Structure 1
Amino acid sequence: MKRREFVRLGAASSLNAGLFGMATTSAADATVKLDRFGGWTAKKFDATGFFRVEKADRWWLVTPEGNAFLSWGINHLHPDLWNQDYNREAWQKTLGLQKLYGPEFNAALRSWFMGICDRFGFNTVGVHTSLNIVNQPQPQMAYMQPIRFVDLPHWKPDIPDSNFMDLFSPEFASHCDGMAKKMVLPIKDDPFLLGYTMTDCTLFTEEDLRERPDVIGGKRRESRVGWPRRLRNMGAKAAGKKAYVQTMRNLYRDSIGDFNTTYGTPFDSFDALATAEHWRPQTQLSNANETRDNIEFLQRCVGKYYQTARDAIRRYDTHHMFVGDKINANTDSLDTVLPITSQYTDLIFYQMYGRYEVQKPGLDRWSKLTDKPFINGDSAFTMTTDIMPRPYGPVADNLQQRAEWTAEFFHRAFERPDFVGWHYCGLIDAPILVPRKASRQHSGLLNGFGDAYPQLEKILKECAGDIYNIAKG
């Protein structure tokens, strides 16, 4: 990008009215008017001053001004990607800076980012983005605020046992309240806040927790002990152990004999179970009843987690949406916990990498479990290059196929009455030239120097410009 274009885009994105401000779409239909949040002014709802959801023929997000909104987001503005040995000089020239750190860099990167969003038609800052950069001095685009009450993301190879907190304990409730108060109070009146999210693909099920020789970062991950096994092996005073014993009492209708038959144990009462520590550290996966019991208790754990987190947020903010975790739909997590999480959240926030034909059966299935809208919060299609030998996600044969898969998913997903958002992964390439990406890479819509992939740019702009026409059929 030439310096003069950067200045032009930066100036256009800094209007007091916000990024959109009654602009027209940039592609297919120049008659579609947008409010300052990117909402479609031809489809009106009650204005509440905050984002919300409403069902009218199909599900919609609704802007604070009361206009229909579909979330087209972009992820992965991580400043270090702009300041690598291989691309530092190029970004110094593009941004007109000598050093790529500090307040001047943050301001220049933000201005460039807003220009790119305007150019490609993005209307949402994805959850995997440095909000301290894009929201300073004040937000101009819809965004989600993560509050990681539990630090259990699927991509971390090393997670301390202490991160699996006793969700039933007063200490966990106090922990959530403290985090909510700190994070929520400063932004509780922000109209650009789309909602509160939590952890990225939380480790819920045995499938999530099993040993993996190859995680995203490339390092082997040991198997983990999740909430059902962890809490059932605690001592009698632990709140989680008490919840487990009560759950088993209910499941086995107070018959300790039936419980013993499942587990091959000699307990003479559920009170004896309550006092037993470290009595069953492993799960016998071939034991169908034990698997059922663990799922039943996991769902109770997740319910307590979500209720506690939501209540903590609501204590300080009663206006914005509670979105919850971005739940991993490439494992069995979403199928397992959706019946519980959907009781607390305003929408379903999931992650799934796959072409539309792969995601469709899940979306069809999940829509029968809950009448709520869906946002895929992080996914895209990729391809290999010399410096991107192992990119994360479905790998296309070439750029043209990558663009075709992108257009296919965009159109078919947003045609669905239950689908209201896709947050694209990601902004610029993270190749092997970035040390932390040596084992596994992420593809972007631009290369590491900021040059767009032409066919992909054309498709993305066309899709963004036609999003409301696609949704209305």
Structure 2
Amino acid sequence: MTYAIRDGRLVDPDGNPFLSLGLNHTDETALKFPRSVDVWRERYGSRQSWIRDGVVADLRGWGFNTLGWTSEYVAGGWGEALDWFGDPIDLKHSEQWSAAELRGAGMPYVAQVRVAEIEDWNGHPAFRPLDDDFADWCDHLGRAIAAEHADSPDLLGYFLVDIPAWLPHASGRDFAELVGLDTAARERKLYDVASRYYETIATAIRRYDPHHLILGDRFNGNKGIPEPVLRAMAPHVDTLSVQYFTEPTDESRRRMHDDLARWRAQCGDKPVIVADVGNWTPTELNPHREGLPDHAARGADYGAAMEALLDEPWFAGWHWCGYVENTGGRGWGLKDPWDEPYRPLTDAITEHNRRAAAYRKEN
């Protein structure tokens, strides 16, 4: 038995309603700077110990039930990262956890299949032809990744590309079939390109793992999602996965709800995973970060934003960004750079997570 979609809802292997409460960006190198490496050595001393006694223990203690997208932002122009229509940025990320590490965590998890290097944050995107070589590449990904997880009882499913540039990329690069087209012509051709992309990778994944969910690309909801892409992916993936960062206002939260409801209707009424969401406040090492006034306010905002979706049966997941605060400019970890939880935040998150999980089981 695996996680599945039943009557438009995400259910666990026992058939019970399941709300995936995930934590993203779990990378231990945030604790290995000179300022904190002694903490790392004293508390953990090895990656295996850190996964068991740090990550997994924290997730369970805080009411999370899913190990999310594990790669962490480590370098690049973070100050411009949210200006997706401006000059191209080039962010650097750590490697994903290995299949053995994900499976060994002993809790629900997601795996990533990086189909194409076409992320919005990628300053040098590679829009390669979707030809026979692309099919061979996808088959390789199926063998290399899906075959490693096919018999896992804990795998929730496979994410594809992190915020892919289905809208024009800031660099000006694009799929060959779309280059030079005006807006209307690009919109018409986009469906064919996206159909080939999704059909090819979905066929490859299901060749090696026919049972687990394909969670789709992690769309950039704050930039928008073209309708032709949503229609094209509908036959091939099981959920709509969207990153969406709200302002701390009721209006912004309603807009998130309405956007997600509209997009899911355009892709065949898929369940929705909010694949990356977060908030921030100034901290000791990130004093420049504008945002909420303190960590207690972050905790309140966490609950209010989730509450905007909780009554919807199609709401399937809420994956938070991120774990240990890094020095790249985010300023929004659940722990400080010395591995201490921001208690006003984590205490609130624990309460919200447990309430949300219980509510989903009953509704």
- Asked whether the two chains share a fold, i.e. TM above 0.5, the reply is yes
Kept after mapping to 1: 8 A contact 2:242/2:272: yes
CA distance in 2, matches of 1:358, 1:396: 19
Return the offset for 1:134: 7.6
Return the offset for 1:386: 4.1
In structure 1, give the amino acid aligned to 2:274. Answer: N
Return the offset for 1:374: 0.3
Aligned to 2:316, the other structure's residue is in SS state strand
Q: 1:295 aligns with which of 170, 184, 187?
A: 187
CA distance in 2, matches of 1:173, 1:189: 24
CA distance in 2, matches of 1:137, 1:148: 19
Return the offset for 1:132: 2.5
Aligned to 1:67, the other structure's residue is in SS state coil
Return the offset for 1:390: 4.9
Residue 109 (structure 2) pairs with residue 143 (structure 1): yes
Matches within 5 A, 1:264-275: none
**CA distance change for structure 1 residues 202 and 390 in 2, over 3 Å: closer, same or farther?**
farther
Aligned to 1:205, the other structure's residue is in SS state coil
**CA distance change for structure 1 residues 449 and 326 in 2, over 3 Å: closer, same or farther?**
same
Q: 2:47 aligns with which of 106, 109, 113?
A: 106
Residue 11 (structure 2) pairs with residue 70 (structure 1): no
Deviations 1:331-372 (A, max 9, x none): 123555222222321111111111423412202322432311
CA distance in 2, matches of 1:330, 1:136: 29
**CA distance change for structure 1 residues 178 and 469 in 2, over 3 Å: closer, same or farther?**
closer
Aligned to 1:461, the other structure's residue is in SS state helix
Aligned length: 331
In structure 2, give the amino acid aligned to 1:332. Answer: G
CA distance in 2, matches of 1:371, 1:137: 30
Residue 271 (structure 2) pairs with residue 373 (structure 1): yes
**CA distance change for structure 1 residues 442 and 303 in 2, over 3 Å: closer, same or farther?**
farther
Higher relative CO (Cα under 8 Å, sequence separation at least 6) belongs to 2
Residue of structure 2 equivalent to 1:419? 315
Residue 270 (structure 2) pairs with residue 400 (structure 1): no
Residue 21 (structure 2) pairs with residue 79 (structure 1): no
Return the offset for 1:316: 1.2
Residue 238 (structure 2) pairs with residue 323 (structure 1): no
CA distance in 1, matches of 2:49, 2:305: 33
Residue of structure 1 equivalent to 2:57? 115
Q: 1:357 aligns with which of 233, 245, 254?
A: 254
Kept after mapping to 2: 8 A contact 1:414/1:420: no
Aligned to 1:466, the other structure's residue is in SS state helix
CA distance in 1, matches of 2:295, 2:137: 47
In structure 1, give the amino acid aligned to 2:47. Answer: N
Q: 2:5 aligns with which of 12, 30, 53?
A: 53
**Structure 2, unpaired ranges of 5+:** 72-95, 248-252
Q: Which moved more, 1:417-426 or 1:403-412?
A: 403-412
CA distance in 2, matches of 1:139, 1:307: 31
Kept after mapping to 1: 8 A contact 2:56/2:105: no
Return the offset for 1:399: 2.2
In structure 2, give the amino acid aligned to 1:303. Answer: S
Deviation beyond 3 Å, 4+ runs, structure 1: 468-473
Return the offset for 1:138: 2.4
Residue of structure 2 equivalent to 1:187? 149
Question: Structure 1 vs Structure 2: percent identity of aligned residues?
Answer: 24
Q: Which moved more, 1:322-331 or 1:130-139?
A: 130-139
Kept after mapping to 2: 8 A contact 1:327/1:334: no
Q: 2:174 aligns with which of 212, 226, 244?
A: 226
Return the offset for 1:200: 0.3
**CA distance change for structure 1 residues 187 and 388 in 2, over 3 Å: closer, same or farther?**
same
Kept after mapping to 2: 8 A contact 1:107/1:133: no
Residue 34 (structure 2) pairs with residue 92 (structure 1): no
Aligned to 1:135, the other structure's residue is in SS state helix
Residue 205 (structure 2) pairs with residue 313 (structure 1): yes
CA distance in 1, matches of 2:299, 2:255: 17
Kept after mapping to 2: 8 A contact 1:411/1:470: no
Q: Which moved more, 1:382-391 or 1:139-148?
A: 382-391
CA distance in 1, matches of 2:162, 2:102: 24
Residue 239 (structure 2) pairs with residue 347 (structure 1): yes
Task: Give the TM-score normalised by structure 2.
Answer: 0.85
Aligned to 1:153, the other structure's residue is in SS state coil
Residue of structure 1 equivalent to 2:79? none
Deviations 1:72-128 (A, max 9, x none): 000111121121122111222222x3xxxxxxx111111121110121011101023
Kept after mapping to 1: 8 A contact 2:282/2:331: no
Aligned to 1:470, the other structure's residue is in SS state helix
**Structure 1, unpaired ranges of 5+:** 1-48, 98-104, 211-222, 233-280, 284-289, 432-436
CA distance in 1, matches of 2:102, 2:223: 36
CA distance in 2, matches of 1:148, 1:422: 21
CA distance in 2, matches of 1:71, 1:397: 28
